[in-house]
Amino acid sequence: MVETSALKDAYLVTGLKEEEAAQIAAIATVRTYRSGEALTKTGDAAKEVFIILSGNVKVTTDDGDLLGEVGANSVVGEMGLVDSYPANANVTCVGAVCVAAISTLELRRLMGQNRDWGFVILSNISRVMAGRLRQTNARIDELTDLTTEPWQHSLG
């Protein structure tokens, strides 16, 4: 079990009352990982959501492209909570990492029993995903604005 106070700064529980967050903490398990260990790999079943309690993880594509690096109070694996699809990125520890691992099945069960705060959790996830999508769209726009004429690059 995880102390409720350990989750208080994670966006997943923002807006929940302490007793509601305590129910989530009660189904969470503390795990520690060493540098280089994977929390999840591309294609893994969406079984858990992780709240980073300490340390940093890097998120990469299957071919090694860095998508980002996140640390304490960040949440990973939340897409699987929403859509149940397998992981689409690798999440690897950068140094020692401690997480609160939460079963997606158990969290969905709690959210179904407590629909008001289930809605709050889904709203929190939606806001973060919308922000990521906006950043991705901006990056795609930057890349498409680059010249696509191959000879442009060679003429310097």
75-92 residue pLDDT tens: 999 999 999 899 999 999
7-37 residue pLDDT tens: 989 999 999 999 999 999 999 999 999 999 9
CA distance 98 to 89: 19
CA distance 111 to 123: 12
- Pairing relation of β-strands 48-60 and 90-103? antiparallel
pTM: 0.87
> What domains appear along the chain, each with residue ranges and CATH number?
4-145 (2.60.120.10)
Reference 52, options 26, 34, 25, 75; nearest CA is: 75
Please calculate the CA angle 98-31-63 and round it to the nearest 5 degrees. Answer: 75
Beta-ladder partners of 31: 99
CA distance 112 to 156: 59
89-139 residue pLDDT tens: 999 999 999 999 999 999 999 999 999 999 999 999 999 999 988 998 888
Reference 48, options 28, 73, 23; nearest CA is: 28
Beta-ladder partners of 106: none
